[in-house]
């Protein structure tokens, strides 16, 4: 199968050739013809499999072959994404693929001045790539007219639901015409995604090119057991000892990302943090520095788990395991993209054993455990979760009899394992509970 066989125009074929694309990926092979046929789509695929091109290429072609006859251009394609980074990535891809077409696209997200976005809408656009919150703000201000939308794309729909955007999405849909084509793309499936798809899509075609909720197959995964207080020391040792030039590190909190970044810098490692409290300009500059090699280590919260598209990123490290198992899949999906091999390491302390078990249950596989010399856990403790020791009935009875010989008038009654109630003799006002 080639891109020519998919019925793409000469302009699009020339554009994707400059992007280095040679043959379509499985998701592109299945989705592009279905979109041309006008079908609603519910597509599931691992991150890094070419989902953006799968919907961008056919939509660009359909817009260019059926141009709007109205003098003032109103948006005809709406792409919703969960994060600013993903909106920027999708928007840049749209512009790159459609550079030889007479189409206008724009990106809309929060954290930046709203007035330039309003000015672009006034000049007219064909494609809008947006995050739900800022787009809803425009819709409520009436600075954007969504009455001519022909195609609605929900990219990384599972993440949007996880981030609580479902109410905003439903409000946005109320501004759209009912007669439209809907495309829903998601890296993972869940019961909430199925229900959402049932409400949003009209007899959709199901496309799934990878096992559900699985990590990218090109990614080698390891767990490094380590005491929680030595994680930073181990990370610095790995970066320096193995001479990593580019590594993406995930923490669970913004404060943790800032703290780890300062510690790595103090260790002599070029590092920078990216998370929701950073302004959009700072986030954009930090990402650019990481991509061009100025910053060696990027420390991020899950805001960066979606939308980061870095060519041949070799290493991803989970400094903290995520408490949502699906987020693990998205995190490590930043490496091993587009057929490239990658490595995902998780620094796991005893307190995170429950998170690890849930991740392995989701993946339906055990992740290889690899101890690092000099960073093994103390011998007095084990990496596996302990089962509380159980006492026999005879042990409980013996314990109860020993407790009764305290020189006071009264009796003990066992109320629970390890607890007995002492009742003083009649005539006394006091009653006590002895552990």
Return the CATH architecture of domain 4-208.
Answer: 3-Layer(aba) Sandwich (3.40)
Predicted confidence (pLDDT) per residue in 416-425, tens digit: 545 556 566 5
Q: What is the DSSP letter of 294?
A: S
User: What is the rounded (10 degree) CA torsion for 110, 114, 120, 126?
Assistant: 30
Q: Indicate if the alpha-carbon torsion angle 168, 172, 174, 178 is positive or negative.
A: negative
In 341-418, at which residue ranges do the beta strands (DSSP E only) sit?
342-348, 368-369, 410-416
| Cβ atoms of 341 and 313 closer than 8 Å | no
The residue extents of the domains of the chain are 4-208, 219-369, 393-434
**Nearest 5°: phi and psi at 263?**
-65, -40
Nearest to 77 by CA among 50, 49, 108: 108
Per-residue tokens: 203: 């007899």
- Predicted confidence band at 426 (pLDDT cuts at 50, 70, 90)? low
Per-residue tokens: 344: 């995902």
Instruction: Look at residue 392 and tell me whether its pLDDT is greater than 70.
Output: no
Q: Could you give the count of Cα atoms lying within 13 Å of 234 in the half-sphere of its Cβ?
A: 26
Cβ within 8 Å of residue 338, ≥6 positions away: 48, 49, 50, 311
pLDDT of amino acid 394: 42
- Predicted confidence band at 49 (pLDDT cuts at 50, 70, 90)? confident
Instruction: Look at residue 169 and tell me whether its pLDDT is greater than 90.
Output: yes
Q: Read off the pLDDT of each residue in 8-19 and give the average, rounded to a whole number.
A: 91
Between 283 and 28, residue with greater pLDDT:
28
Between 388 and 120, residue with greater pLDDT:
120
| Cβ atoms of 303 and 277 closer than 8 Å | no
Instruction: Look at residue 306 and tell me whether its pLDDT is greater than 80.
Output: no
Predicted confidence (pLDDT) per residue in 124-160, tens digit: 999 999 999 999 999 999 999 999 999 999 998 888 8
- Predicted confidence band at 78 (pLDDT cuts at 50, 70, 90)? very high
Instruction: Look at residue 406 and tell me whether its pLDDT is greater than 70.
Output: no
Distance (Å, whole) CA 179 – CA 205? 17
Q: To the nearest whole percent, how much of the chain has pLDDT over 70?
A: 81
| Cβ atoms of 202 and 366 closer than 8 Å | no
**DSSP symbols for 44-88:** E--TTS-HHHHHHHHHHHHHHHS---SSS----EEEE-SSHHHHH
Between 317 and 157, residue with greater pLDDT:
317
pLDDT of amino acid 75: 96
Per-residue tokens: 391: 């006492």
User: Vertex 247, ends 79 and 209: CA angle to 5°?
Assistant: 45
Nearest to 310 by CA among 281, 286, 282, 329: 286
Predicted confidence (pLDDT) per residue in 242-252, tens digit: 999 999 999 99
Between 195 and 270, residue with greater pLDDT:
270
The pLDDT mean for the chain works out to 84
Per-residue CA distances from 8 to 11, 57, 71 (Å): 8, 8, 27
- Predicted confidence band at 214 (pLDDT cuts at 50, 70, 90)? low
Domains 4-208 and 219-369 share a fold: yes
| Cβ atoms of 68 and 76 closer than 8 Å | yes
The helix/strand/coil state of 400 is helix
Match domain 219-369 to its CATH number in 1.10.760.10, 3.40.720.10, 3.40.50.300, 3.50.50.60: 3.40.50.300
Residue with tokens 């075609």: 205
Comparing 38-42, 70-74, 338-342, 350-354, the range with the smallest average pLDDT is 338-342
Q: To the nearest whole percent, how much of the chain has pLDDT over 90?
A: 52
pLDDT of amino acid 335: 83
Reported as type and span, the H/E element at residue 237 is: helix 231-241
Inter-helix orientation angle 10-18/51-65, to 10°: 150
Instruction: Look at residue 283 and tell me whether its pLDDT is greater than 60.
Output: yes
**DSSP symbols for 241-261:** HTT-S-EEEE-SSHHHHHHHH
Distance, C-alpha 322 to centroid of its chain: 10
Instruction: Look at residue 34 and tell me whether its pLDDT is greater than 60.
Output: yes
What's the whole-model pTM score?
0.66
């Amino acid at each position: 199968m080639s891109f020519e066989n998919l019925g793409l125009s000469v302009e699009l074929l020339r554009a994707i050739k400059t992007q280095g694309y040679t043959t379509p990926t499985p998701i592109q092979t299945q989705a592009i013809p279905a979109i041309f046929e006008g079908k609603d789509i519910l597509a599931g695929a691992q991150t890094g499999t070419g989902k953006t091109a799968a919907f961008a290429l056919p939509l660009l072609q359909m817009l260019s072959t059926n141009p709007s006859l109205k003098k003032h251009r109103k948006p005809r394609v709406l792409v919703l994404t969960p994060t600013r980074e993903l909106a920027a990535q999708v928007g840049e891809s749209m512009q790159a693929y459609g550079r030889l077409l007479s189409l206008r696209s724009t990106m809309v997200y929060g954290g930046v001045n709203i007035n330039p976005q309003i000015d672009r809408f006034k000049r007219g656009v064909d494609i809008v790539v947006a995050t739900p919150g800022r787009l809803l703000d425009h819709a409520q201000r009436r600075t954007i007219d969504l009455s001519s939308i022909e195609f609605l794309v929900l990219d990384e729909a599972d993440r949007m639901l996880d981030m609580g955007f479902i109410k905003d999405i439903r409000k946005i849909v109320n501004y759209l015409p009912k007669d439209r084509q809907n495309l829903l793309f998601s890296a993972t499936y869940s019961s909430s995604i199925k229900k959402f798809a049932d409400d949003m899509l009209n007899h959709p075609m199901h496309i799934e090119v990878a096992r559900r909720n699985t990590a990218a197959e090109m990614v080698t995964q390891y767990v490094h057991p380590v005491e929680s207080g030595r994680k930073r020391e181990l990370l610095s040792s790995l970066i320096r000892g193995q001479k990593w030039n580019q590594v993406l590190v995930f923490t669970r909190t913004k404060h943790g990302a800032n703290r780890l970044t300062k510690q790595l810098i103090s260790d002599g490692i070029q590092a920078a943090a990216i998370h929701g409290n950073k302004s959009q300009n700072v986030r954009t500059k930090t990402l650019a520095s990481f991509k061009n090699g100025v910053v060696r280590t990027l420390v991020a919260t899950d805001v960066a788990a979606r939308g980061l598209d870095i060519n041949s990123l070799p290493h991803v490290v989970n400094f903290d395991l995520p408490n949502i198992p699906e987020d693990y899949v998205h995190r490590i999906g930043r490496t091993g993209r587009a057929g490239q091999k990658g490595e995902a390491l998780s620094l796991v302390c005893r307190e995170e054993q429950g998170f690890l078990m849930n991740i392995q249950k989701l993946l339906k596989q055990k992740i290889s455990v690899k101890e690092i010399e000099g960073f093994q856990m103390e011998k007095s403790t084990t990496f596996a979760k302990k089962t509380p020791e159980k006492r026999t009935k005879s042990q409980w009875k013996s314990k109860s009899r020993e407790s009764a010989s305290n020189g006071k008038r009264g009796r003990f009654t066992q109320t629970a394992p390890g607890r007995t109630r002492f009742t003083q003799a009649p005539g006394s006002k006091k009653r006590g509970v002895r552990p």
